[in-house]
């Protein structure tokens, strides 16, 4: 071995080894801190590109699911109002039955009529308040709800609007101010045949209410089916989303247990490399002994 002070081959080799170990240590520390084995295109261009494509698809699914959740909320509000309307109709049916009793007194008829009209007006309030996000699926003139159901944007789910307003397509109850008392107080009231008795008017109302109950039940069935379709699609997309997240993790996530072991090993190697470099740098000093 040639001893000289111009070059130190041992120190150069030790420095190269220290640089290599330090670079590996920095890479492992990055993986441990980020939890990712592939965090940029430099790490693995192919895997990074594939992961980015799947992240884009995952983002699209999340946007679609948000729309589906809004759609479910819209239909749920319509269903809640529709179910309340159905309950009101049942109460109106009971009042109409009381009015149909030939033995009912004029005083009791007035009470029944007032209650009947109050319930009918409640239906209007229920329809008017069944709105969320500017959408009302049971108001007169309401339009169908169309929700994007797939990340391609072409797949949609349509929930039909149902007119549950008084006088609407699905509610056939009388819109007279007071359908029973009108026969007694004002036989010429529009919509009331002056030749009809109170009992006959009440029986006509009963038939109309029963038709309304049937129509509302049909409407609720359609809305319920639409809500189920939206929820089912959301559940399907949740499973797809979970699968994509697992796939992305398999592509880019780091094995932290393995990286932790490598981190400790490289830290020891780095300390040894530093000591080796220190020894190599001190080697030229031995030449001074030749001149002592």
| Domain spans, the chain | 9-35+254-291, 47-252
244-279 residue pLDDT tens: 999 999 998 888 888 788 888 888 888 888 888 888
CA-derived radius of gyration, the chain: 40
Alpha-carbon gap, residue 14 to 286, rounded angstroms: 18
pTM: 0.73
Closest alpha carbon to 185 in 201, 170, 206, 167: 201
Apex 138 CA angle, 145 and 72, nearest 5: 45
227-247 residue pLDDT tens: 999 999 999 999 999 999 999
Q: What was the pLDDT predicted at 3?
A: 59
Q: Could you tell me the pLDDT band of residue 286, with boundaries at 50, 70 and 90?
A: low
179-191 residue pLDDT tens: 776 554 444 444 4
Q: What was the pLDDT predicted at 290?
A: 61
Give the CA distances from residue 196 to residues 5, 52, 170, 184, in Å, rounded to whole numbers and listed in that order: 127, 75, 25, 10
Closest alpha carbon to 207 in 217, 197, 215: 215
| Phi-psi region at 141: left, alpha or beta (left = phi > 0; alpha = psi -120 to 50) | left
3-state DSSP assignment of residue 145 = strand
Tokens of 143: 């339009």
Are 163 and 169 a contacting pair, CB within 8 Å? yes
Q: What was the pLDDT predicted at 207?
A: 87
Are 167 and 190 a contacting pair, CB within 8 Å? no
Give the lowest-confidence range in 50-64, 159-173, 199-213, 263-277. Answer: 159-173
Tokens of 73: 């909320």
CA dihedral 111, 113, 115, 119 (to 10 degrees): 180
Give the lowest-confidence range in 9-23, 40-54, 61-75, 132-146. Answer: 9-23
Q: Is the pLDDT of residue 11 over 70?
A: yes
Alpha-carbon gap, residue 71 to 79, rounded angstroms: 12
Residue range 47-252, CATH number: 1.20.1330.10
Alpha-carbon gap, residue 39 to 44, rounded angstroms: 9
3-state DSSP assignment of residue 135 = strand
| Phi-psi region at 158: left, alpha or beta (left = phi > 0; alpha = psi -120 to 50) | beta
Alpha-carbon gap, residue 58 to 277, rounded angstroms: 50
Q: Which contacts qualify for 193-197: CB closer than 8 Å, 24 or more apart?
A: none
Alpha-carbon gap, residue 68 to 7, rounded angstroms: 72
Residue partners of 157: CB distance under 8 A and separation at least 6: 68, 71, 146, 147, 149, 226, 229, 230, 233
């Amino acid at each position: 071995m040639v001893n000289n002070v111009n070059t130190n081959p041992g120190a150069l080799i030790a420095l190269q080894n220290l640089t290599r170990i330090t670079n590996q240590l920095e890479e492992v520390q990055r993986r441990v801190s980020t939890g990712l084995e592939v965090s940029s295109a430099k790490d693995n261009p192919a895997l990074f590109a594939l992961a980015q494509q799947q992240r884009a698809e995952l983002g699209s699914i999340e946007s679609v699911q948000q729309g589906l959740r809004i759609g479910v909320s819209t239909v749920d509000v319509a269903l809640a109002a529709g179910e309340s309307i159905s309950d009101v109709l049942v109460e109106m049916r009971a009042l109409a039955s009381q009015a149909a009793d030939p033995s009912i007194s004029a005083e009791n008829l007035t009470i029944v009529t007032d209650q009947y009209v109050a319930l009918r007006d409640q239906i209007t309030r229920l329809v008017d308040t069944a709105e969320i996000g500017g959408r009302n699926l049971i108001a007169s003139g309401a339009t169908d709800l169309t929700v994007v159901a797939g990340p391609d944007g072409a797949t949609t789910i349509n929930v039909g609007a149902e007119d549950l307003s008084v006088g609407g397509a699905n509610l056939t109850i009388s819109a007279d101010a007071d359908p029973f008392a009108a026969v007694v107080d004002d036989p010429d009231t529009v919509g009331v045949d002056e030749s009809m008795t109170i009992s006959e008017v009440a029986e006509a109302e009963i038939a109309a209410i029963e038709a309304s109950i049937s129509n509302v039940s049909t409407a609720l069935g359609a809305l319920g089916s639409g809500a189920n379709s939206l929820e089912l699609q959301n559940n399907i997309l949740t499973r797809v989303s979970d699968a994509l997240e697992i796939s992305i993790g398999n592509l880019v996530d780091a094995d932290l247990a393995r990286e932790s072991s490598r981190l400790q090993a490289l830290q020891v190697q780095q300390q040894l490399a530093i000591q080796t470099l220190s020894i190599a740098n001190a080697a030229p000093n031995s030449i001074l002994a030749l001149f002592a």
